[in-house]
Amino acid sequence: MEILALQYGWLDFTNFDVEEYEHYERAENGDLNWIIPGKFLAFSGPHPKSKIENGYPLHAPEAYIPYFRNHNITTVIRLNKKMYDARRFTESGFEHHDLFFVDGSTPTDAIVRKFLNICENAEGAIAVHCKAGLGRTGTLIGCYMMKHYCLSAAEAIAWIRICRPGSIIGPQQNFVEEWVFTDFYFLYKKCVLILNRCQSSEQTIRGYYVGLQNSGNIQSWKLSTGINWKCWGNLTVFTLS
């Protein structure tokens, strides 16, 4: 997983700030972690007001706004029940979306599709939270990572847990392991089969797959990657040009 993180630019040993990571991971400083730097931030759900409750610090939306602005976060997605008024973010210039599903449960297909659509069209980075910012949050971010970076479920879960320990357990782990973005997944598997026979590396096929997703069009993907294909009925065979 480290190799993939380096490949995608999620990890850079030359400028990784351990002190910053440990600072913001603490509850008193926001309980937040970057999963994909510049794209996804996972954090604990805000409360109506900042206070200490039973020795545990809680933060109002306003406590996060300066950090969000400084890190180009433009969108907030809430997955848990409403604990604060969304206008406290929207009136400060952020987009805010509610995609509620029950704590410890798994999202419906409609929720996953909405989440992917929001994230694919967001102009800046996205801050995602549920109650603790672990289960529901990690589950949906994991689906995005599997679709857009061609990660296996194990790879996505492993990376999210490295960034934010305690994420995605129980039924939610099973959901991620069984989730498939069908259209691209089967096309990817066909590419792997043929390109592996052409002695292309796994890194190469990941690049082709991401290119397909980004283009949204098989023809433009063919032109940009040099992959040809022939179709016989339901069978598609890919070859390198």
Residue 126 sits in a domain whose CATH number is 3.90.190.10
Going by C-beta distance under 8 Å and a sequence separation of 6 or more, which residues neighbour residue 5?
A: 11, 159
Residues 120 and 198 in one domain: no
Query: What local confidence, expressed as pLDDT, does residue 148 receive?
Result: 84
Point out the residues of the chain with pLDDT beneath 70.
Answer: 1-2, 180-241
Residues 40 and 130 in one domain: yes
Residues 166 and 194 in one domain: no
State whether residue 214 is helix, strand or coil: helix
Query: What local confidence, expressed as pLDDT, does residue 39 receive?
Result: 97
Catalytic residue among 119, 130, 143, 191: 130
Residue 141 φ/ψ, nearest 5 degrees = -65, -40
Residues 134 and 157 in one domain: yes
User: E strands along 130-179, which residues?
Assistant: none
Residues 194 and 130 in one domain: no
With vertex at residue 166, the alpha carbon angle to CA 133 and CA 40, rounded to the nearest 5 degrees, is 45
For residue 238, tell me if it sits in a domain. Answer: no
Contact 227, 191 (CB under 8 A): yes
Residue 163 designated active-site: no
Read off the pLDDT of residues 26-66 as tens digits, 9 standing for 90 and up: 999 999 999 999 999 999 999 999 999 999 999 999 999 99
Q: Domain of 202?
A: 184-225
Q: State the virtual CA torsion across 182, 7, 3, 217 in degrees, nearest 10.
A: 10
Domain count, the chain: 2
Task: Note the pTM of the prediction, 2 decimals.
Answer: 0.77
Query: What local confidence, expressed as pLDDT, does residue 210 receive?
Result: 53
